[in-house]
Structure 1
């Protein structure tokens, strides 16, 4: 899931002094190569390392029914090697040169990166160009990664307590849109796919004109430009990638459903609301609302439901932001024998209060400090800056500089905006109520 779901941690200086006067501008250079690859360069001398990243605008929403899980599968498959990198050597090369690397996949994009000592920039560029230009996609790699992905699904989803709830919620909240399934996809689909289908998927989506090469670190800009051209410009341009544009009909009636999980002993209650995508002011506002309700011990859910009433072991809210839509979710686990409906009523009462009354000045100031601190922390490392720059170009109408707009967006939200967003989106006739229960024994 996207990094925006949770995570509004405090820094000591923020608590002590606030961030009202803080301004942190990220300077960068951006341009396109002849093959359409968008390049973003940020010279940052604060640490002697460099983050080399490539964001491909392909995720699980680019898949089709019957062939789900492809984007996540390629997150693994493209570490298998290339014409010039032996199978299994990709990660070893990075580690041997003092670096680290990883990748992750969402519904909307796949993100690969290396963080290396600054003097190993050329190595990072070569590795990512090899991944893009001529990876080895054969039966050996496909069969190997099938087993890797199966084990990941068993560990993170099938055998993980509450591991299935997101798949259930998305399947209920999206009927037509490919957000209907989650990135891990179906193992049956992966097993049934032919090698030719994997090759076609790569040829269609993993092309320079569907990617952003974002580099942040201790670099020399002219030198880096020359190396980027040398490694990437000869990669052939692909066909234009058209992102799906599928609209869901509004939800106008409350949906009530039940799901069973054999890995849990404590039931849970979820409410989910479909909300606008991340490139909207409402998405920023709703993220502040989740912090009001559940961030920290003094948040409303924790203060009233968990502490004062002692009815919940855990109660939280989060705004799952994606490109086309988002999901706003409240959830709670009962303490003792407290009925799930009691927790549902408790959460609804707190939402109703936000819909009815403006939050206090103290709460509002706290929300701003939390959100601003989270933004500052996201730019503390070169990989965070590289991803934020790539996000801006990919998801904010090619506005790479969106990273420099975030503080303004946070500060533009008013108490009235928070109340109005709650009124507009968090209504009972617009939601799913999911009773998530231990699987009954036979």
Structure 2
């Protein structure tokens, strides 16, 4: 076993109000699996988690949705876990588990009483080494994914918001297609293609294993070596996705949704990936504009002018490109153009004037609070450790990311708003009720 021992700083000093530094240890197995351990013996609970560096963007044209599909498929069963018994084993041993997939990664985790750490590690090693991928399981999960798509997107009011934005913000990059994929692609895929996808991406050198909570570190290392050490290393993964040309003039689009009666406006800007410092600044701008009833957009458009039922903004972080989104629903006869004008007026202020010292202090307080909350449980710490290493390439962000937000100045907020949030850099989407055909 080849160690790259990096010890997180001891729990000695507070990094913010109520937050202590997270102590951790990380190393690599010979097969490339990165391991991160965090010991916290205050409660008899452990989290075992594996994050794979594979998401919706990892596909070829005509084969969308594979990563999300595997999120479901890898619960089907393994060589040593009977089909359909995964959740039963977890629950009967006092645990809970789940998984989720983004465009950039897939995350599986279990939370067990600490006396079942060995079980959690064995199950995740089984998922990595011995999954059973056969036509029956593929067919079953294909129907599950179709039902999820219908429930969450096709039959849910405003469920296609992100679809509408991504397909207009991106022309070449895989982010243009929905993470859940197109059903026709899954229907047309063969069993051999699913097996090849697993062999390529669900390998130790494309994954990070995190164990947090009430653990004996030496014992955990022994079990990790026993269960994960023999898993063969996969081929190195090379990603070379096409880049997008800058948006230089406003793009206008319309999307129709049969599940709504009130239209909405969506304004989208293509912004840098989440590792870029500017992405942190854009997070702050989104919070400044629309987080809470005292935020600029809400106070103006909902409270004062009473032209919007709802308004919000978010910088949706992704690895290669992020998406800065603003949306609003009108009141009464207010038009979408009127909403767009009010939104632009507030964004223009962010581009041209410094935010007040009082607003700046409120922003800093909000991000301090978020930082503390993100590391308030061993489950949250597991997710943060995996994300910071796998996607950001810096595990120590779990302790120092708040320093990035603290270092952002009012002048930088103005500069970044002026760099990315201009009318000629945006997509404006009219999100409309679907018109019923005339008799």
Using the size of structure 2 for normalisation, the TM-score is 0.95
Give the deviation of 1:177 after TM superposition. 0.8
In 2, distance between residues paired with 1:173 and 1:46? 46
Query: Is residue 334 from structure 1 mapped to residue 330 from structure 2 by the alignment?
Result: yes
Give the deviation of 1:243 after TM superposition. 2.6
Give the deviation of 1:23 after TM superposition. 5.0
SS in 1 for 2:138: helix
Aligned position for 1:78? 74
In 2, distance between residues paired with 1:23 and 1:92? 36
**Contact 2:17–2:368 (8 Å) recurs in 1:** no
Give the deviation of 1:20 after TM superposition. 5.7
Any runs of at least 4 consecutive aligned residues in structure 1 with deviations exceeding 4 A, and if so which? 19-23
In 2, distance between residues paired with 1:49 and 1:335? 48
Give the deviation of 1:246 after TM superposition. 2.7
Query: Is residue 118 from structure 1 mapped to residue 114 from structure 2 by the alignment?
Result: yes
Task: Give 1:6-405 correspondences, 5 Å limit.
Answer: 24-397=20-393, 399-405=394-400
**Contact 1:62–1:244 (8 Å) recurs in 2:** no
- Any stretches of 5+ residues in structure 2 without a counterpart? 1-14
Cα-to-partner distance string for 1:7-66 (whole Å, 9 max, x where unaligned): xxxxxxxxxxxx866652111111111111000000012322111000000001111110
Which of 423, 428, 438 is the aligned partner of 2:423? 428
**Contact 1:61–1:244 (8 Å) recurs in 2:** no
Cα-to-partner distance string for 1:363-422 (whole Å, 9 max, x where unaligned): 11111111111111111111211111111111223x111211211011011111111111
In 1, distance between residues paired with 2:28 and 2:352? 49
* Change over 3 Å in CA distance of 1:282–1:195 after alignment to 2: same
Give the deviation of 1:244 after TM superposition. 3.1
SS in 2 for 1:400: coil
Cα-to-partner distance string for 1:253-301 (whole Å, 9 max, x where unaligned): 1101111100100000011000011101111111111111111110011
In 1, distance between residues paired with 2:405 and 2:20? 14
SS in 2 for 1:162: coil
- Any stretches of 5+ residues in structure 1 without a counterpart? 1-18
SS in 2 for 1:60: coil
Cα-to-partner distance string for 1:206-233 (whole Å, 9 max, x where unaligned): 0000000011111111111001000100
In 2, distance between residues paired with 1:364 and 1:106? 31
Aligned position for 1:437? 432
Cα-to-partner distance string for 1:111-157 (whole Å, 9 max, x where unaligned): 00001111110010000000000100001100000010000000000
SS in 2 for 1:405: helix
In 2, distance between residues paired with 1:358 and 1:206? 47
Using the size of structure 1 for normalisation, the TM-score is 0.94
In 2, distance between residues paired with 1:424 and 1:261? 33
SS in 1 for 2:20: coil
Q: Which has the higher contact order (CA 8 A, sep 6+)?
A: 1
Aligned position for 2:413? 418
In 2, distance between residues paired with 1:429 and 1:376? 38
In 2, distance between residues paired with 1:182 and 1:388? 25
In 1, distance between residues paired with 2:350 and 2:200? 46
